[in-house]
């Protein structure tokens, strides 16, 4: 173990020195290096992979509507529960929309009430006209014909008597008083008969007038029915607008969709927010994942439910986890398969972003091992220099695993056939042109 630490410290020291010296030297000078072709010819019983702690679930909470952010009620690192208010938008414009929709609904309801009243009046007029028609028709069919017949019979009888008395009066047989009496009766019966005839005409006129009123009432009913339908449609539309306005007003309050911890406060009070723009990121860290990437050879030896030991660098602690997810699609950048190891985090000690190292038992997995001093440790991570066909070198980030003797396992970043620099690497820069010194391993 001391030997390993010595290698790493020496590599780090030489890297720092080489950077300073390189800045002072000319890039034009060709550096002589020794190289080695990488082969997957080593075997290990434990797959050691670096990774990061991530939440088991992360959501970015956002408003459904746009507006001005009035308040963000939570801070980064704060625990929240599902349904808790985490932010609000300015409500002024949305309150105005609700009041406007309420006014539109009220106007539509008033129009409906007025149209219904007009329709009711027209219906009453129609019913009255129908009664008038029915009454007059009944008189024409029964009462008036009987009266006409009776009055005509009486008139005809009186006229016959009148003609007889008149003849007798002219002959001097009847008295003047008898003639005057029959003449008066004839006038009365004639008027009664005429009144019966006039009653028929009046009833017929009544029917015509009532029919006109009936048609006018039916037209009014038809028109008001259309008005009622139109105003009812306006009510439905205004109620839909009111519901939408109320929903928008409700949506000015943003609540947490899950129980978790605020990982990031993305937006600040006073900002104009568009719908769907994230306000805060919330993660469920009651359980966390150690997220790692494994090679195509290793991925088939890992099974869901398999235990793994996870070393947390920041805590200097090792915890036990269980393989929970194995992705079947390799990452196009690292050419490794993402694997998630679930870890219980009830005490909340594991924080998203912590760097970790996972150790997963394997059955003699074939691995790439390279000389330990060919790996250079930069601030951003470990790397090796890979020789290109045009004799230039490229700095390539690698993920390292277990150390065996003077070799170190590379589980991502290299593949069989790559040519790496094993000597002279500490003075190189990405893109340098080199000349090769033939060296034996």
Res 365 pLDDT > 70? no
288 part of a folded domain: yes
Helix 176-250 × helix 144-170 angle, to 10°: 160
Distances (CA, A) of 190 to 170, 175, 178, 184, 186: 22, 23, 18, 10, 6
Q: How far apart are CA 59 and CA 266, in angstroms?
A: 12
pLDDT at 344 > cutoff 80: yes
Using the predicted structure, report yes or no on whether residue 160 has a pLDDT greater than 50. Answer: yes
pLDDT confidence tier of residue 364, bands split at 50, 70 and 90 = low
With respect to residue 365, please indicate whether it lies within any of the assigned structural domains: yes
Percent of the chain with pLDDT over 90: 51
Helices and strands counted in the chain (H then E): 5, 20
Q: pTM of the prediction?
A: 0.57
Q: What is the pLDDT of residues 210-240, one digit of tens each?
A: 888 889 888 988 898 888 898 899 989 999 9
On whether both 275 and 424 belong to a single domain, the answer is yes
Residues 397 and 383: beta-carbon distance below 8 Å:
yes
One domain, residues 11 and 110: no
- pLDDT score, position 44: 62
Print the domain residue range for 271.
Answer: 2-85+261-436
| Beta bridge partners of residue 320, listed in sequence order | 309
Same domain, 321 and 396: yes
- Which of 15-19, 46-50, 110-114 bottoms out in mean pLDDT, i.e. has the lowest? 15-19
CATH code assigned at 393: 2.40.30.170
Report the pLDDT value the prediction gives residue 438, as an integer from 0 to 100.
64
Q: What is the dihedral of CA 337, 343, 347, 348, to 10 degrees?
A: 10
- Count up the domains in the chain and report the number: 2
Is 441 a member of any domain? no
212 burial (CB, 10 Å; 0-12 / 13-18 / 19+) is exposed
410 near 368, Cβ under 8 Å?
Answer: yes
- pLDDT for 439: 53
Distant-in-sequence, close-in-space partners of 240: CB < 8 Å, separation ≥ 6: none
Contact by Cβ (8 Å): 416, 426: no
- DSSP strand pairing (317-326 vs 393-397): unpaired
**Do 275 and 64 contact (CB within 8 A), yes or no?**
yes
Give the end-to-end CA distance of the chain in Å, rounded to a whole number: 23
Q: What is the pLDDT of residue 97?
A: 94
Q: Which tens digit of pLDDT belongs to each residue from 292-323?
A: 998 887 888 899 999 999 999 999 999 999 99
Residue written as tokens 């194995």?
A: 326
Last residue of a domain, one of 249, 272, 304: 249
Q: pLDDT tens across 169-208, in order?
A: 888 888 899 989 999 998 998 999 899 888 888 888 888 8
Tell me whether residue 164 is in a domain. yes
Taking the C-alpha atoms of residue 155 and residue 190, their distance in angstroms, rounded to an integer, is 6
Look at residue 33 and give its three-state secondary structure: strand
CA dihedral 161, 163, 167, 168 (to 10 degrees): 10
pLDDT at residue 11 tops 60: no
Q: Distance between CA 331 and CA 177 in Å, rounded?
A: 137
pLDDT, tens digit, 9 for 90 and up, residues 66-101: 999 999 999 999 999 999 999 999 999 999 999 999
- Are 235 and 318 found together in one domain? no
226 is written with which tokens?
């259309």
Residue 72 maps to a domain = yes
């Amino acid at each position: 173990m001391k030997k390993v630490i010595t290698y790493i410290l020496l590599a780090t020291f030489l890297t720092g020195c080489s950077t300073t010296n390189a800045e002072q030297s000319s890039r034009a000078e060709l550096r002589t290096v020794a190289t080695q072709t990488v082969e997957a010819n080593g075997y290990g019983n434990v797959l050691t992979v670096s990774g990061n702690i991530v939440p088991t679930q992360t959501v970015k909470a956002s408003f459904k509507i746009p507006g001005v952010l009035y308040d963000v009620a939570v801070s980064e690192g704060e625990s929240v529960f599902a349904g808790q208010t985490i932010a609000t938008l300015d409500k002024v414009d949305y309150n105005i929309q609700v009041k406007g929709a309420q006014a539109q609904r009220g106007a539509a309801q008033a129009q409906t009430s007025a149209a219904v009243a007009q329709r009711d009046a027209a219906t009453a007029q129609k019913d009255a006209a129908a009664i008038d028609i029915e009454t007059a028709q009944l008189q024409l069919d029964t009462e008036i014909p009987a009266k006409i017949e009776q009055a005509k019979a009486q008139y005809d009888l009186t006229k016959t008597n009148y003609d007889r008395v008149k003849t007798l009066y002219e002959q001097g047989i009847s008295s003047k008083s008898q003639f005057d009496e029959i003449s008066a009766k004839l006038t009365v019966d004639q008027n009664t008969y005429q009144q019966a005839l006039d009653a028929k005409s009046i009833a017929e006129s009544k029917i015509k007038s009532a029919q006109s009123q009936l048609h006018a009432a039916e037209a009014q009913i038809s028109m008001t029915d259309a008005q009622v339908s139109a105003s009812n449609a306006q009510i439905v539309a205004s109620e839909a607008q009111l519901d939408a306005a109320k929903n928008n007003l409700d949506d000015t309050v943003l609540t947490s969709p899950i129980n978790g911890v605020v990982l990031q406060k993305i937006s600040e009070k006073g900002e104009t927010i568009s719908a769907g723009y994230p306000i805060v990121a919330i993660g469920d860290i009651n359980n966390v994942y150690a997220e790692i990437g494994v090679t195509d050879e290793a991925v088939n030896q890992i099974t869901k439910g398999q235990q793994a030991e996870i070393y947390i660098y920041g805590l200097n602690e090792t915890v036990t986890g269980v393989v929970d997810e194995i992705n079947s699609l390799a990452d196009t950048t690292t050419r490794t398969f993402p694997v998630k190891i679930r870890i219980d985090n009830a005490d909340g000690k594991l924080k998203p972003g912590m760097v970790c190292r996972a150790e997963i038992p394997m059955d003699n997995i074939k691995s790439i091992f390279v000389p330990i001093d060919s790996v250079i440790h930069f601030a951003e991570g470990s790397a090796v220099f890979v020789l290109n066909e045009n004799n230039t070198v490229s700095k390539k980030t690698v993920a390292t695993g277990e150390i065996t003797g003077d070799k170190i396992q590379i589980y991502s970043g290299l593949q069989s056939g790559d040519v790496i620099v094993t000597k002279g690497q500490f003075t190189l820069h990405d893109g340098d042109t080199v000349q090769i010194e033939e060296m034996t391993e």
